[in-house]
Structure formats: C-alpha cells, structure tokens
Amino acid sequence: MKIYTKTGDDGTTSLFGGQRVLKSDLRIECYGTVDELNSQLGVVQSFGTDSELAAMILRIQHLLFTLGADLATPPDATTRIERISGQEVLELEHWIDSLDARLPSLKSFILPGGAVTASGLHVARTICRRAERILILARETEDISDETLRFLNRLSDLLFVMARAENQSKGIDDVKWIPR
C-alpha cells in the first residue's frame, strides 16, 4: 500500500464511510488533536516513566486510536468500528482514584513541571483539554457521542494525576502556585 494517495491534494479527506470533508472540518481538527496527544504520550514514554504509568500510557494510546476512529466515523456510517463507551470512562476513573489515593492532597494550584516525564504529561494534559474544546465546538453541528466528551474530560484529569504521580516516583515535590 502506498503512503500517498493524492486524494487529499484538494484539501479534503475521507471520514470512515466515505464522506469527503474539508481538512479544516472540526471533526478532523478534533481527531487530529487526539493524534497529537497520542504522539505526545509517545514522547513521554521515550523518556522512561514509572512502570505502572508506562502500562497506563500504552493502554491510553490504544484508546486514543479508538477515539480517533470514533470521531472519524459518523454514527450513520455503514462502517462499523469500536467506539468509546462508558466502560473506558470508568477505567480512567479507576486509575485516577488509585493514583490520587497515593498522592498528598492538594490545597493549592500547582505549576506544571518537575521531571521531564511529568512535564511531558502536563503538556499532554493541555493538548487533551484543547481536543475537548474542539470536540465541544464540533458537537454544535455534528452528531458526536457524549462518551467521547466524558472520556476526554476524564483523561485530562488522569494526565494531571499521572504527572503528579510521576514526580512523586522521582522524588520531586509539586511546586505550588503562589499568587502575588
């Protein structure tokens, strides 16, 4: 199979099911941002994370491919694909609760940073929040499931907790934001 097809040379791309849309379509922007998030998680992994977090990141990367396919497939498409469901949201919530129980409670905002891996997870969190904002815009005109929105919302929370857990595993304290 060739990498290039030339079908996108006119500024359009295909959704699963064959519908052609502009590459600037909000649905495309959303799953493109999800792809960026997935790539950022690959960068984090390349620096070496705690083994528990490494397993979570790998699972998240697989789920992000599922999410991308979900976003690229309108509900009325004849193509049948795996979609994000409430089960994946519950999985993220379980991880959040498990990691958060081991962390010192937060009494103030913290600054993103610390270990390279934790910093990378904070960047991933901000990319996830951007994907969520684009998804909300896309849902104004597109039929996109509630589960995808809940998934991204929960994932950004998980990435925050993972960054804190990664700093803790490296012996680095959270840096509190101190307002003037």
Listed residue (52, 36, 33, 46) closest to 131, CA to CA = 33
User: Which helix (H) or strand (E) covers residue 45, if one does?
Assistant: helix 26-46
Q: What is the pLDDT of residues 24-63, one digit of tens each?
A: 678 878 989 999 999 999 999 999 888 899 999 999 999 9
**How confident is the model over 111-145, as pLDDT tens digits?**
999 999 999 999 999 999 999 999 999 999 988 89
Residues 6+ apart with CB under 8 A from 174: 104, 106, 110, 111, 114, 164, 167
